[in-house]
A and B are shown apart, each in its own frame.
Chain A
């Protein structure tokens, strides 16, 4: 490890970390938002399910480096546009998330839905107040998988010249300089860990009924404020 190099290149490292964050956060969020209606449709109809799952299976089969080249051609962007990477990562995110979103909505007990209808909830109310909150734990498990793989796959973008932490790997190889590669891997693992902590906390806040008693009571009070929106209490 060449600590001097790290010390004198903190601006470069920080810049690439920011670029990595800017390129990976949108695909995770957009992927989740797109997969909720798609997954819901898949959990409601067998036809929609088989179509959505086969399409997402095929999309997931396309190797990342190839998808990164296909996206700009299909959407008419230049090859160096960072949006290519965002687009390719979003496609992967949706491909993984549709299945877990479908499982998430299927995991909501039928009795609960019937009760909600009996109380007089409209379809939309039932979806946002009952089904979506109860689907959160399974949705969360899916988003965590997507988040980790998005952060690591993004580095492939370096090959087509989209600058982020992956660029350290190619630089390291060209200059035979191991430190750069280690900095790249460590930063990627760090970002993956930070995203995972954020997602776990958000999931914790959104599912007040799942919270454990005892040791976690103190922090639960803090999350309770943020988690008041979904109608866990009303159920």
Chain B
């Protein structure tokens, strides 16, 4: 509610001498927002959608080293479906993506709640949990490759302390290599999720908390029943950012496991790269890229749907 003096002040601050500006400027003003957005829209249409369409076109060709327009229908998709490595990569993405998002959410939420308890060193701890996000995935992959290497890293160290039977050789086991990706990725991104949750916690209206406290609810109950539901938008944002990281995960795989042992820890992004570039199979790589984008759409569309729906409720 603005008092008359405030509105007068704002008037003066913004528009200078009060005078009707509804002449020719009016039409321009109406179109200005669209003009401002136009370049970005154009850029988006060309560089994002245009390139996606181009990729789709390429997935229908027999392009090898460089693009060619020799069309073969859906042959590349057929080859993709018959490719065992693709299925390994796709299922790895489900495992990796699912675990990565879930663990980051839980860990981030827990850390945020703990940090929110008026800790003395909150600033320092927060920076500590957040800094891994500053590192590139290549650096993360290289360091964790060391740490998880049975002969050089944690296993060797613990054995050096006398625990001869200690085993932590996931990195070299075909069935466990994917989980090493989860470890490194969670280390990198959970701090960011924590920051999101912390911000969300700080933004909760205390009237709600006070009401709950007056009702005599216990601490865990307050968190579970009152605070977590308020954080639903935060969870959504976190899930969006995390899934985007998961789908794009390329540098981490290359640096940490190289897709191995064999191709046991391959992901669609590295599959696409290996085939499109290293193996000069742009057609097949494009087909895998389209499927990858399809997966992205599958996550994005429901989110947008709920986003737009909640907007209307505001």
> Are A and B a genuine interacting pair, yes or no?
no
Residues of B participating in the A interface, judged by any CB pair closer than 8 Å: none
